[in-house]
Structure 1
């Protein structure tokens, strides 16, 4: 698909200029990590159970401009938050449950306990993950990190994008060669072990492995993945020209930190509890209690033993896993209408069976389904805040965006007031995975 380039030359040059001034270097010395946000059209809430998922990256995300510091010191600034984070990559670092509150340095050199400037913990987490696997770090970085302007990135895996950006920068600065599959594990260490979030590996995998125009399919149990191209678009042809699609990101205006909310981790536990009941009833007491270890036949034979809440969680897992399989087939054959219907069904199951979302997000989901040209919609991310995504006919993307802005504003004017007008509904395209860009 065509469309605007991200990052733009102007964005790159602006970040490089700031870092060059911070470090006393030239802009030619500055490298930039491009770490895109991801969306998950199908495969909601099942990666942590070893299910099958689909994802793609978009042309929005995290940029981290950096140079080697020449010593173990990290000096970091953020385009979105104040303060300056400093620490040494060779010092001891502990996970969240035992870590001391992080110190952030103000422009005048004084220190304060980290509050809103918690963005620095991802850099610490990256150093922790690399060292915990035996990598020696003797080079820090001087860097500036920036998210896509005006965009509420909740629900787009911005945390994984940030963690991976720091991993790639530190690896580059220390001349460490790490495979994408190993970096998936390293970022999981940042999120699960260092920050205490019980998520799966979908986010990291999508950000590292995706390619523009492709759907990334991954079996989270085996870690096997493939990139799926829409090779046959005949059913969507218009006068011999394939009908293209775009992605709508519709922001709800809700803001809530995922790691401080028990809803996500509680549902992970409920899925495991459902798996334990099903496996025990089938006499498989020694099998690890995740739903991917429950065969479909076992689920059908023993699901009546589940109490209603656990039954809903299991039903979401098994129905969503099936939607992913059907979705990959639809995508590969170019049946975007069918793919969109599966996205919508995924959204409905997330509401009814997984019981995530809240009134504003559900309203936004319903508005998207009524928008012209929208093929399918669902929550993005965990569904407790943030945005909804939709697959939309390219020719009607602008009309759909205007419709969603107007209709959602009628329902939630106060929340819409939290969103910048240009970022309320964004028209995006698929993009490439995370990478380091060096000056030409």
Structure 2
């Protein structure tokens, strides 16, 4: 294959040793994330509150025998080959390889030499569910490159490089939340993050509560879903309001001066930032859940990133005893919903809600808590 080529494999997923005939030199992993509050605020310099999920992506690296990078995604059973030390304008290959190319090239821009590599990717982070499978891949790959080379890169810098890889090589003009959550969050706390300054702190979940995540079964793709359009609308709204970013507009009434749909886009971001800041001060599970419910309504009506399947799943969750609040999570246009539920009840609630949801013509799947975990 020529540099940047990708092709499907045969025979199903295989381990690094089976693909490349030797053991890897390093192996690193990173988790996916679920965002409880603060959707579409990160690229507006706002506030977010994600947490890591148990599912992780693992990247293993070892030396290449022929001066090129050889990549293999086990879960997709796909291969790609890239030129080592390629030109800065090397076209990004399709699929998973573009994220790895971005990580390698940005790592090199930091001044670190990357030898020709064999790269093996395996992941348990669901793709297309809004749980940041791409950020988990980016952070895991950059961690592996750091371990292999001994590069002095902080976890914060790894997140920043992962974000640049997604923007420059995958074409998604994303904020920093997903990569920061994958690089710095854990599954036991909420990560309260100021995406402008990167100031952050870990917070406990509301007392008596745990997290439930259900995949709606409706896949979404960010680059073609309207994500970039929403970002452009927010930038235009901030410009018209004379603000550096919508984060700098604290009063939702200010949005009324804007034409539609900019008025509604701005109102969502302004009110969503307020919900995150209120939650960061410490709320009961019920009060936190109320803000999650309000967040979904805002994402549905003002930001227009929900779809009927997500609305149906959220409505079922919100009507279920033991659920404090529920909303879509991720960019929207499909993907997963997150709910805050009474401690010890997430698995049972998830199974019950999925049975009801499935009878409505869709198929839901409980992702967190994991079955048997």
Which residue of the other structure, out of 360, 372, 376, is the alignment partner of 2:321?
Answer: 372
* Unpaired runs of at least 5, structure 2: 1-12
Q: Does 1:187 align with 2:192?
A: no
> Hey, what does 1:107 align to over in structure 2?
none
> Hey, what does 2:150 align to over in structure 1?
175
> Which residues in structure 2 correspond to 1:286-301 (within 5 Å)?
288=244, 290-294=245-249, 296=250, 300=253
How big is the alpha-carbon RMSD for the aligned residues of Structure 1 and Structure 2? Answer: 2.3
Report Cα offsets for 1:151-184 as digits up to 9, x if no partner: 4452001111111122122222222121112112
Report Cα offsets for 1:317-355 as digits up to 9, x if no partner: 111111001111225xxx222222211211111111111
Q: 1 or 2 for the larger relative contact order (CA 8 Å, sep ≥6)?
A: 1
Contact 1:274 1:306 in 2 (8 A): yes
Q: CA deviation at 1:203?
A: 0.5
Contact 2:70 2:119 in 1 (8 A): yes
Contact 2:25 2:148 in 1 (8 A): no
Which residue of the other structure, out of 95, 99, 102, is the alignment partner of 1:122?
Answer: 99
Distance 2:170 2:128 in 1: 18
Which residue of the other structure, out of 18, 21, 30, is the alignment partner of 1:21?
Answer: 18
Distance 2:255 2:213 in 1: 36
> Hey, what does 2:30 align to over in structure 1?
35
Report Cα offsets for 1:188-220 as digits up to 9, x if no partner: 111112222111100011111113422111111
> Hey, what does 2:279 align to over in structure 1?
327
Contact 1:93 1:124 in 2 (8 A): no
> Hey, what does 1:110 align to over in structure 2?
none
Distance 1:385 1:93 in 2: 34
Q: CA deviation at 1:383?
A: 0.7
Q: CA deviation at 1:70?
A: 6.8
- TM-score by length of structure 2 reads 0.88
* Residues 328 and 73 (structure 1), Cα distance of their counterparts in 2 relative to 1, 3 Å cut: same
Contact 1:141 1:173 in 2 (8 A): no
> Hey, what does 2:353 align to over in structure 1?
404
> Hey, what does 2:267 align to over in structure 1?
315
Distance 1:253 1:426 in 2: 11
Contact 2:292 2:326 in 1 (8 A): yes
Q: Does 1:145 align with 2:121?
A: yes
> Hey, what does 2:336 align to over in structure 1?
387
Q: CA deviation at 1:141?
A: 3.1
Which residue of the other structure, out of 83, 86, 90, is the alignment partner of 2:78?
Answer: 83
Larger Rg: 1
Distance 2:308 2:62 in 1: 45
Q: CA deviation at 1:359?
A: 0.9
> Hey, what does 1:435 align to over in structure 2?
none
* Residues 360 and 305 (structure 1), Cα distance of their counterparts in 2 relative to 1, 3 Å cut: same
Contact 1:38 1:56 in 2 (8 A): yes
Q: Does 1:63 align with 2:12?
A: no
Q: CA deviation at 1:315?
A: 1.1
Contact 2:72 2:119 in 1 (8 A): yes
Secondary structure (helix, strand or coil) at the match of 1:343 reads helix
Which residue of the other structure, out of 242, 246, 251, is the alignment partner of 2:215?
Answer: 251
- TM-score by length of structure 1 reads 0.75
